């Protein structure tokens, strides 16, 4: 893995953790393996707000239907990374 890719991974994860910090979690620690639905109980409106913030931060379009493949924070980070790397 290149340094550039590692930097992007870290930037995406850090951004997500910062945005997610405002929501309460059932477990003590918010991390990459935190389940967005089961551990955080983020409702649909807050999830949409989060995605709009992510879109603005990384200048990408994140279709809501992509959330069907997302369970954990890491899943979300992977989807964003894919969008960033394929950005036109």
Partner 1 sequence: MSISDRFAELAHIRDSLGAVEADPSRIVMEKILSPTEAIIGNRPTILVGTNNYLGLTFDNEVLDAACAAMHEQGSGTTGSRMANGSFAGHASLEHDFAEFYGVPSAMIFSTGYQTNLGLLMGILRPGDKVVLDSHSHACIYDGCRISGADFLAFRHNDPEDLRKRLRRLGGDAEGALVIAEGLYSMLGDIAPLADLCAVAKEYGAWFMVDEAHSFGVYGERGLGLCEEAGILDQVDFITGTFSKSLASLGGFCVSRHPEMQLLRYGSRPYIFTASSSPANIAAADAALRAIRTRPDIKDKLWANANRLYDGLKGLGYELASTVSPVIAVRVPSKEEGARLWNALLDEGVYVNLVLPPAAPDSAALLRCSLSAAHSFEQIDAILAAFKAASAGSDMAAGASAQ
Contact positions toward partner 1, by CB under 8 A? 43-46, 48-49, 51-52, 55-56, 59-66, 88
> Minimum CB separation from partner 1 for residue 64, in Å?
6
> Minimum CB separation from partner 1 for residue 77, in Å?
18
Q: Which two tokens stand for residue 24?
A: 């309460």
Cβ proximity to partner 1, 7 vs 43, nearer residue: 43
According to DSSP H, which parts of 21-72 are helical? 44-58
> Minimum CB separation from partner 1 for residue 88, in Å?
5
- C-alpha distances (whole Å) from 71 to each of 1, 4, 40, 84, 88 are 24, 26, 11, 20, 27
């Amino acid at each position: 893995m290149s340094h550039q890719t590692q930097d992007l991974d870290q930037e995406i994860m850090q951004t997500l953790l910062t945005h997610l910090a405002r929501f309460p979690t059932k477990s003590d620690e918010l991390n990459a393996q935190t389940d967005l639905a089961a551990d955080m109980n983020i409702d649909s409106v807050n999830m949409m707000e989060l995605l709009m913030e992510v879109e603005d931060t990384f200048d990408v379009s994140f279709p809501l239907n992509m959330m069907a493949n997302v369970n954990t924070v890491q899943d979300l980070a992977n989807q964003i990374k894919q969008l960033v790397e394929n950005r036109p």
